[in-house]
Structure 1
Amino acid sequence: MPETAPERTTTPPHRRLGLTLALLAFAQLVISIDYNIVYVALPEIGSGLGFSAQSLQWVISAYAVAFGGFLLLGGRASDLFGPRRMFALGLALYAASSLLGGLATDPGTLIAARAVQGIGGAFLFPATLTLVSTSFAEGKERNRAFAVWGTAGGSGMILGSLLGGVLTDAFGWQAVFYVNVPLAGAAALLAFKLIAPDAPRTGDRSSFDLAGALTSTVGITALVFTLVQGPESGWTSPLVLAAALSGVLLLAAFIAVEIRSAHPLLPLDLFRNRNLAVGSVITFLYMGTFGTLLYFLTVYFQSVHGYGPMTTGLAFLVPMVAIATGAQTAGRLATKYGIRPVMIAALAVGGAGTVLVALTMSTGASYLALVPGLIVLGIGQGAGYTLMFGAAALGVPAEEQGIASGVASTSQQVGGAVGLALLVAVANSGLDGLTGEALRSATTDGLRKAVLIAVAGIALTALTALGLRKPAPREVGKHTAAESRPVVHV
């Protein structure tokens, strides 16, 4: 008997929607903070636990590999088992793994804790996206929800750097893990109070696509591992080549499994939805360009100007405010003018700001000289982050919002890894053997070159956004929480 697709329950009372949105935004804030909070604590983690210079990167990489590898599985799990359950599960994994990380006394335990954190994020992120998409009516209500959610995500990435510096200086590296325990634990408990219950399923969960889950999860994990480890070990090292080949073969097997499966993990006809396909490409390109700039600015502040962790975090307060402003403005403008023109405008503004930042970067430039570019960049970056996930959700049925969110999220992770690997190679070329002022000057030149190349990628992202379209009325009516709503403009 064919499996019956789950339907979202009726819209929660309006008075509770605000609290629901606040919880979803808070969960996104936790994810974003956790992504960056560990960076500034890495030197203390390395010395405290005895990491080697080569193994220390895996404090970051273990999270990224697990997060990227499990996103499709996490997205489909939201469809099959309910987004509220997966939301709570992801937060519980965050809390437990953060406690384990803070208690770690050896490198292996900490790396394992970071991998579990990544798995938690892979269940939490698509569930959060699904809940935003299905709890709020398409149009003004959903645009506003994505604006709040996007503000939390964009601001959290910068807030993580600041919070990491404060906690590390005051309490030691363990604090960057312990802080997640009460935050994620409380959010997991609140999920059952504030989020509408998952609709009961009448279908047979035994039809779960195990072969598709295994091949996609291991294949994407191998691919992300390749992208993360390649710059460290060399792209022609046996380990990296083996991982790359395994990833390609497993993903080819995954596609073959999905074509033949009666209940595929990733229904390939989902990509007939043009907005999901285009939105996923936009997300890939956005993260490969805008998503790398935080790294390059951190290197510029610390390696060129000698900022410490606390000062670096404070330097990001200006772009954080700009990102929040852009995210909030984008939601209102998208309701009035449509997602496509506002997305293109956001990318144009962000690209112009990126050019200003690149041209201002020099060994002798003051922070104040960077501020105009950082403000313009932040406004465009915040607006684009808010809109790109909303664009990918347009016209996707409610019963497939989870896997669609998983696709967009996987594009986000892989795009960020690809962009960072390529642009770091550009930024670091020609630095070997240099010291002192010559190294500072060459580092600045390399960073400027990488940022300007990112501008070309931002322009390509804007061209890609031209492919977004308004969903047909029949698509709009299938998947939202409200019975009637305005048709969204694209």
Structure 2
Amino acid sequence: MPSNRPPSPNVTASSRRRLGLTLALLAFAQLIISIDYNIVYVALPEIGSGLGFSAQNLQWVISAYAVAFGGFLLLGGRASDLFGPRRMFALGLGLYAVSSLLGGMAASPGTLIAARAVQGVGGAFLFPATLTLVSTSFAEGRERNRAFAVWGTAGGSGMILGSLLGGVLTDAFGWESVFFVNVPLAGLAAVLAFWLIAPDAPRAKGRSFDLAGALTSTIGVTAVVFALVQGPESGWGSPSVVAASVAGAVLLAAFVAVELRSADPLLPLRLFRNRNLSVGTVVTFLYMGTFGTLLYFLTVYFQGVHGYDALTTGLAFLVPMVAIAIGSQSAGRLATRYGIRPIMVLSLVVGGVGAVVVGATMATDASYAALIPGLIVLGVGQGAGYTLMFGAAALGVAAEDQGIASGVASTSQQVGGAVGLALLVAVANSGLDSLGGEALRSATTDGLRTAVFIAAAGIGATALVALGLRKPATRSIAEHRAPTEPNSRPVAHV
């Protein structure tokens, strides 16, 4: 007979400490992902000259990562459900460490692009696994909100920290260092996973791997993301872009047909009956298509208009990084008190106002100090929104489907960022080809300002979509909490 006595204070304190360390590890992994997404940006000029990239091929240092990351996310999400999030967490970190080592040692453009693609695959396994572990290890409500606040702070700040760290490392040690820095970080995190994260539960009997769904979704999404990132460079009517778009559409249609007929589908379409997952996926898509593009435009503004070097550009992002951290930490507490929907909407409104202020203060002769108020308001809204949007999509999703639900939200994140950047870059660069000197500087500023204003309008539309989120139906404590038997993931009491 099990004992009805409460656990001893020592056991409870020990469990809390261990779970706190687990959350720190998950946040650290998210920091690695976010840093790696942006750390290469400010190093691109040195990478291009050091390895002999052409102007047309240099973008693939960024795009190879984005295409592989976006294409493999659904597969990575379902792999977490079928094979266990701890295994996929360690696998993703291992791929990060190996590919970063190869990237730093690269002596040719092809080798570096291949290494970046492998990094993207690693991210596609790591990101859904991390989201799954946060969602299933912490009880829905206050505990999960606090966990997402820590996780979101790492993710939101990491996007800015990547630019800062990239500038510092490139200036001090050369472009290779932006890859080598990942090797010990990812390797250590992979080792710690087997100590801090509870073992995965045994694989459920009778569940099979949907190979047809995996192939059609992975290749289909990869083709679509390729078309989106290559379109602005090659032209939307170029044969490669048109072929990738058509192939992606056909394969994704085939994927839906396969899933409707599969007994154990990669992506159970019934999940979209959960309104929070459906709305949260759209919110994530729009968030990344708006907020997610602003870092790029600010980088171009600092370097292209004001002539900042890599280190100065990185330092310029310190203010928004602090603001993002404040927004992320505040969002969890406010969501616990008032609910995710109102705080999600509020964060988007605040961020939209900040984007308008930033756009209004961008000028060829503007000082950095003039940008600070807008950057602070923008950062607070951006950090709060990033923290909440993934948590909103996870509301009401069963534990055994958290991996694929995370994969869906993550895929919309990647595709949304690619779509938004492609459209807004086209707006920002319109009419620049024939200009030079001061006229080019002025036109670049005007184009960037227009793109930021359009992004602000998109943020406002995202707030309207977020109104569709719903409070999940009340469930029993047992349903909210993960089991506590051996080989199961613990529940937070922090």
- Give the residue type in structure 1 aligned to 2:128: P
| Counterparts of 2:476 and 2:175, CA distance in 1 | 49
Q: What is the aligned partner in structure 2 of residue 119 from structure 1?
A: 121
- Give the residue type in structure 2 aligned to 1:141: E
- 1:339-371 deviations in Å (ceiling 9; x for gaps): 000001101111111110010111111100110
| Counterparts of 2:191 and 2:199, CA distance in 1 | 13
Q: How high is the TM-score relative to the length of structure 1?
A: 0.95
Q: What is the aligned partner in structure 1 of residue 319 from structure 2?
A: 318
| Counterparts of 2:99 and 2:479, CA distance in 1 | 38
**Which secondary structure state, in structure 2, belongs to the residue aligned with residue 395 of structure 1?**
coil
Superposed counterparts of 1:90-105, under 5 Å: 90-105=92-107
Identity of aligned pairs, percent? 82
Q: What is the aligned partner in structure 1 of residue 406 from structure 2?
A: 405
Tell me if structure 1 keeps the 8 A contact 2:74–2:407.
yes
Q: What is the aligned partner in structure 2 of residue 180 from structure 1?
A: 182
| Counterparts of 1:64 and 1:378, CA distance in 2 | 23
- Give the residue type in structure 1 aligned to 2:63: S
Tell me if structure 1 keeps the 8 A contact 2:364–2:445.
yes
Q: How many residues align?
A: 476
Tell me if structure 2 keeps the 8 A contact 1:138–1:476.
no
Q: What is the aligned partner in structure 2 of residue 189 from structure 1?
A: 191
Q: What is the aligned partner in structure 2 of residue 6 from structure 1?
A: none
Q: What is the aligned partner in structure 2 of residue 373 from structure 1?
A: 374
Q: How high is the TM-score relative to the length of structure 2?
A: 0.94
Q: What is the aligned partner in structure 2 of residue 131 from structure 1?
A: 133
CA displacement at 1:11 relative to structure 2: 13
- Give the residue type in structure 2 aligned to 1:366: S
Q: What is the aligned partner in structure 1 of residue 35 from structure 2?
A: 33
Superposed counterparts of 1:466-485, under 5 Å: 466-474=467-475, 478=479, 480-481=481-482
CA displacement at 1:45 relative to structure 2: 1.2
CA displacement at 1:485 relative to structure 2: 10
Q: What is the aligned partner in structure 2 of residue 258 from structure 1?
A: 259
| Counterparts of 1:105 and 1:480, CA distance in 2 | 50
Superposed counterparts of 1:241-280, under 5 Å: 241-280=242-281
Q: What is the aligned partner in structure 2 of residue 439 from structure 1?
A: 440
Q: What is the aligned partner in structure 1 of residue 21 from structure 2?
A: 19
Deviates more, 1:469-478 or 1:270-279: 469-478
**Which secondary structure state, in structure 2, belongs to the residue aligned with residue 13 of structure 1?**
helix
| Counterparts of 1:22 and 1:472, CA distance in 2 | 30
Tell me if structure 1 keeps the 8 A contact 2:137–2:491.
no
Deviates more, 1:36-45 or 1:67-76: 36-45
Tell me if structure 2 keeps the 8 A contact 1:133–1:480.
no
CA displacement at 1:47 relative to structure 2: 1.5
| Counterparts of 2:461 and 2:123, CA distance in 1 | 29
| Counterparts of 1:71 and 1:357, CA distance in 2 | 33
CA displacement at 1:330 relative to structure 2: 0.4
| Counterparts of 2:233 and 2:477, CA distance in 1 | 46
CA displacement at 1:474 relative to structure 2: 3.9
| Counterparts of 1:482 and 1:28, CA distance in 2 | 25
CA displacement at 1:132 relative to structure 2: 0.3
| Counterparts of 2:445 and 2:307, CA distance in 1 | 13
**Which secondary structure state, in structure 2, belongs to the residue aligned with residue 197 of structure 1?**
coil
CA displacement at 1:13 relative to structure 2: 1.9
- 1:374-411 deviations in Å (ceiling 9; x for gaps): 00000000000000000000000000000000000000
RMSD: 1.7
Tell me if structure 2 keeps the 8 A contact 1:139–1:485.
no
Deviates more, 1:435-444 or 1:117-126: 435-444
1:73 correspondence with 2:91: no
Q: What is the aligned partner in structure 2 of residue 233 from structure 1?
A: 234
Summarize the Cα distance change of 1:252–1:314 in structure 2 as closer, same or farther, 3 Å threshold.
same
CA displacement at 1:32 relative to structure 2: 0.5
| Counterparts of 1:93 and 1:459, CA distance in 2 | 38
- 1:223-254 deviations in Å (ceiling 9; x for gaps): 00000000000000001000000000000000
Tell me if structure 2 keeps the 8 A contact 1:226–1:243.
yes
Tell me if structure 2 keeps the 8 A contact 1:98–1:113.
yes
- Give the residue type in structure 2 aligned to 1:416: G
Superposed counterparts of 1:282-321, under 5 Å: 282-321=283-322
Q: What is the aligned partner in structure 2 of residue 5 from structure 1?
A: none
- 1:427-462 deviations in Å (ceiling 9; x for gaps): 011112111111111111111111101111111100
| Counterparts of 2:109 and 2:476, CA distance in 1 | 50
| Counterparts of 1:277 and 1:480, CA distance in 2 | 23
Q: Paired residue for 2:54, among 42, 52, 55?
A: 52
**Which secondary structure state, in structure 1, belongs to the residue aligned with residue 431 of structure 2?**
coil
Tell me if structure 1 keeps the 8 A contact 2:482–2:491.
no
- 1:104-138 deviations in Å (ceiling 9; x for gaps): 11111111110000000000000000000001111
CA displacement at 1:480 relative to structure 2: 3.4
Q: Paired residue for 1:147, among 142, 146, 149?
A: 149
- Give the residue type in structure 1 aligned to 2:162: G
Gaps of 5+ in 1: 1-9
